[in-house]
Amino acid sequence: MRYAETGFNLEIDLSRGNIERVATDPRLAELYLGGLGTNAKILWDRVPPDTDPFSPDNLLIFGTGLLCGTPAIGANRTIVSTFSPQTGLMAYSMMGGFWAPELKFAGYDKVIIRGKSPKLVYLWINNDKVEIRDASHLKGKGAQETADLIRHELKESKAQVASIGLAGENKVYFASIEQGRSSASRLGIGAVMGDKGLKAIVVRGTKEVNTARPVEFFEHCSEVLKYIKWRDDHPIKGVPPILSGLGSPQEMAIYDEEWHTTNFTWGNARHRRRDFWTKEVEEKWKKTQQNARVRLLSCYNCPMECGALISAPGVPKYMMKCYSKLTYTMAAMSDLDFGFKIVQRATEYGVDAFTTPQVMAFALELYEAGILTDKDLPGMPADNEGRFYWLLDRIVRREGIGDILANGVYHAARQIGKGAEEYDHNTIKKHEQLPLKLGMLNPIYFLMYSTGEKINITQIEGQFPQAPFATREEREEFVKDWFQVPDDRFKQYFLDWDPRGEHSIPYYPTIEATCEIVDWQEKMHYIDDALGLCAGLSSFPLKPPYHIHNLPGIISSATGIDFDEAKLSQAARRNRTLLRAINVRRGLDRKDDSPPKDHWRNRFPELETKLLDEYYKFKGWNNRGIPTKESLQELGLGYVKEDFLRRGILTENEAAPPGETPAETEKK
């Protein structure tokens, strides 16, 4: 008997209309855990590196985390993986809600989609009965509207639906997959789903998920829940409200947005409004949110209420999560009321709430600069908020200028030309980032922004405070109960973090410490994304209930596979290295590891070069950012090593291709 996982994947070939239930190798859980790790292994094995994201040969994988469907608190993440039309690299995005546990209860760990349907369809998974059904009547329907219509059609009110809206159907490069209380938004995975002619995947399951040592496992889960309740009564002092507690950023619960509105940037990541937040604004925004928020919502088996049911004036009710309330508001340099209203339309269309507002603000900046004219934007309203609605409608339909903007800032800037490239200042690897403009370079965030395969800072950061505390006494108080650190030396790193930057330029005592902190934060995210744990209870917040010391026992009692901290860390490192290898095989190297050009006002080029050099060494990569033969072999990734040698990505000396020195390689 398999424990925690079902041992079966569902393989769907939309070109042939073929459905297969395929048994999986039990050894994969020990090596890659599940979720993101096993998704990556499938993509490496089955999708050639020259495959276009819109090719029938590209796979779209809906993977459940290893602990999804078990009593583990907050284990509800679906990890959707494919290759991004925006970046050309591996894309993965997580969604919460109830979909992943429902798939486990239906008897499957993953749904793997290949091929393309000749007509629009949806997939209906009802335990052992699986059908590809006609969806022509759903063409053009909104994501939530689609879910409601399908549930009514199937007479299954408890069915869980992951669907796309008009943006996905029209292959907008930043189209999302919506799923009620959550969405898989980043890197255009909704566009790949639309390209395959798949409108929705609908799941209903009534089976059980077994655990190996249920009494021991339940004791672990009880301890996690006990700590969550304790932390609810003991928020961390001296940090912004979203970092003081647990859960995904509590945007639906908190009203104090001073930190976001003064540190994040407005418009196309150009303007910071330090003078914006006043007591009057705070009271107005609080009243707006109180009036719009019907009730708070949580995901499957989780006490944290990170989302909310929203009823904004003049729009249907919908569910909102995380930063969506702010991203459109700040892009338009408008009010919170506008944010609540436009998000409803954007959610129905199915678009990423980080990228979309920046794309629209980018277009308006080009208009103000004269690069785009009235001829390019015929009929656009004169009022600010009307312009955003107008642009959104055209982007999702790929009409006029919207057909270009639908490819994202990086590609649109180069299609438009005439100096538009200069306004592309907030992308990494062709992907829009959080709209931030800070002062002094932060080495930890430099490495996370530059090298992360997620290409999204919110899925890399966490655990270590974002800024030093003002006094030594405050720092000493913080580290007293900081048992989640992998080693006590991390406490010392924080104690030595002087806000005046006396120890180094600009922040941390040593580059080695910087590498270790980044590695720790990244490791926890890779573990979460394999287990299906919400980052809000593990890798993102300060002092979370899940950490490197209790997770081995939780995994062992759930799966029956013995894990200790070293083995778990090795699995996380294996997964992270495999993702890097997948992207390297698609052309990624050092030249791509760079943050947005004006993210920090004060930059230190020599320090940045040294940071990359030392981080690459720390990770077991060569000076081009490619995993070395030795590190690949050590991690059990010998098949990657052999592939790299065969392709000439690595050579016997590893440092550079034949006939080139490392310096010559760097110039290229």
pLDDT tens sequence across 374-406: 999 999 999 999 999 999 999 999 999 999 999
Query: Of 323, 363, 361, 368, which Cα lies nearest the Cα of 343?
Result: 323
CA 595 to CA 429: how far, in whole Å?
Answer: 9
CA 478 to CA 480: how far, in whole Å?
Answer: 6
Where, residue-wise, is CATH 1.10.599.10 in the chain? 438-667
* Token pair belonging to 192: 């790949």
Query: In this predicted structure, what is the pLDDT of residue 414?
Result: 98
Residue with tokens 């509207």: 145
Q: Which residues pair with 121 in a beta bridge?
A: 134, 198
CA 256 to CA 282: how far, in whole Å?
Answer: 7
Where, residue-wise, is CATH 1.10.569.10 in the chain? 216-431
Residues in the chain, pLDDT under 50 = 502-505, 656-668
Q: Is there a contact between 340 and 325 (Cβ–Cβ < 8 Å)?
A: yes
Burial of 603 (0-12, 13-18, 19+ CB in 10 A): middle
Q: Is there a contact between 580 and 627 (Cβ–Cβ < 8 Å)?
A: yes
Angle between helices 336-349 and 324-331 (to 10 degrees): 110
Which pTM value belongs to this model? Answer: 0.95
* Domain at 438-667, CATH class: mainly alpha
C-alpha distance from residue 83 to each of 62, 113, 262, 394, 625 (Å)? 13, 13, 35, 25, 20
Contacts of 667 (CB under 8 A, 6+ apart): none
Burial of 495 (0-12, 13-18, 19+ CB in 10 A): middle
Query: In this predicted structure, what is the pLDDT of residue 274?
Result: 79
* Domain at 8-204, CATH class: alpha beta
CA 303 to CA 367: how far, in whole Å?
Answer: 46
- CATH classification number, 216-431, choose in 2.40.110.10, 1.10.569.10, 1.20.140.10, 1.10.3720.10: 1.10.569.10
CA 352 to CA 165: how far, in whole Å?
Answer: 12
Residue 123, sorted as left (phi over 0), alpha (psi -120 to 50) or beta, turns out to be beta
Helices (H), 241-293: 241-244, 258-263, 279-292
Angle between helices 511-531 and 565-585 (to 10 degrees): 90
CA 523 to CA 464: how far, in whole Å?
Answer: 13
Query: Of 97, 104, 103, 106, which Cα lies nearest the Cα of 76?
Result: 97
Measured in degrees and rounded to the nearest 5, phi and psi for residue 96 equal -90, -135
Torsion sign (Cα): 359, 365, 370, 374 = positive
Q: Is there a contact between 540 and 248 (Cβ–Cβ < 8 Å)?
A: yes
Query: In this predicted structure, what is the pLDDT of residue 654?
Result: 62
Query: In this predicted structure, what is the pLDDT of residue 598?
Result: 74
Where, residue-wise, is CATH 3.60.9.10 in the chain? 8-204
Q: Is there a contact between 145 and 348 (Cβ–Cβ < 8 Å)?
A: yes
- Cis preceding linkage at 506, omega within 30: yes
Distance linking the first and last C-alpha atoms of the chain: 53
Query: In this predicted structure, what is the pLDDT of residue 425?
Result: 86
C-alpha distance from residue 637 to each of 25, 40, 453, 576 (Å)? 17, 12, 18, 12
